Amino acid sequence: MGTAIAVRRDYSSRELRRLATRVKDAAQARRQMCPLYVSGLIGPGDRKSIQPMAKRLALGECDQLHHFIAAGVWDASPVETELLVQADRLVGGRDAVLVIDDTAITKKGTHSVGVAAQYASALGKTANCQTLVSLTLARGEVPVMLALRLFLPESWTSNRSRLDRAGVPAEYRTARTKPELALVEIDRAIAAGVRFGCVLADAGYGLSAPFRQGLTARKLAWAVGIPRHLKVYPCRCADDLAHCRTRPSPEAVHS
């Protein structure tokens, strides 16, 4: 058992060091902090805030780790692309599925970016939380997370001063629905060459007609949940309904 744990730790260290090389535009100190921070996130311990992680990682003071998170400026795109490539290598293929969902992080305050009273899927009720759109690539019983994108509610996107105080980048200030965020992330996965045979989502996304139409426009096979009040018609019936809508009414014909 001890040998297996040591092998896993050695593998994780090698993978994290290789991932850190993708942080090309960051200073050497930040490249060193990247694998440490990720180790803290996936390692033991319930609390994943800066001080407890710095203590578990034996970093002494938490200033370096705090600076890496709060003030370190670097382009995350190469790291995100590497994640997509490695996920495809592990579980990608025509028999893989891409699962769209969202998750919530409950909060007590009002300063965390995107925090608001909104539906928390993990709790099954409305709560003060952050909501993140998630993409997971899965094959068989093996899931690999591809992306987590923070959703900004209207209470944030409509408040310029709040966005400024939180330092939200300009490109993320445009109001977008969760289905719209999901489509952006799907495009990013496709552009990176991620292979999957079908997109799956629950009714939170399935009730969005633009989302379903977006999947079809991308020529993707998909299966989504829908609320029970939503009417669904076979293609032939949909064509008949469209024809009926364009047919002039009897009153118009005889007027």
Distances (CA, A) of 187 to 14, 124, 214, 218, 220: 29, 29, 10, 9, 11
Residue 101, sorted as left (phi over 0), alpha (psi -120 to 50) or beta, turns out to be beta
Q: How far apart are CA 2 and CA 92, in angstroms?
A: 31
Between the CA of residue 121 and those of 112, 118, 144, 183, what are the distances in Å? 19, 9, 20, 20
Q: What share of the chain is helix, strand, coil (3-state, %, to 5)?
A: 50, 20, 35
| pLDDT tens per residue across all 255 residues of the chain | 333 333 334 445 666 666 666 665 555 666 677 777 888 888 888 788 888 888 887 777 788 788 877 776 777 788 889 899 999 999 999 999 999 999 998 998 898 999 999 988 778 899 999 999 999 999 999 999 999 999 999 999 999 999 999 889 898 999 999 999 999 999 999 999 999 999 999 999 999 999 999 999 999 999 999 988 888 777 665 555 556 555 555 544 444
What's the pLDDT score for residue 84?
Answer: 95
pLDDT at 237: 59
pLDDT at 23: 60
pLDDT value, residue 200: 98
How far, CA to CA in Å, does 26 sit from each of 33, 39, 81?
11, 19, 16
Query: Six-digit token pair at 246?
Result: 């364009």
Would the pTM of this model clear 0.85, i.e. be above it? Answer: no
- For the chain, which domains are there? 1-74 (no CATH), 76-255 (3.90.350.10)
- Nearest CA to 78 among 41, 26, 132? 26
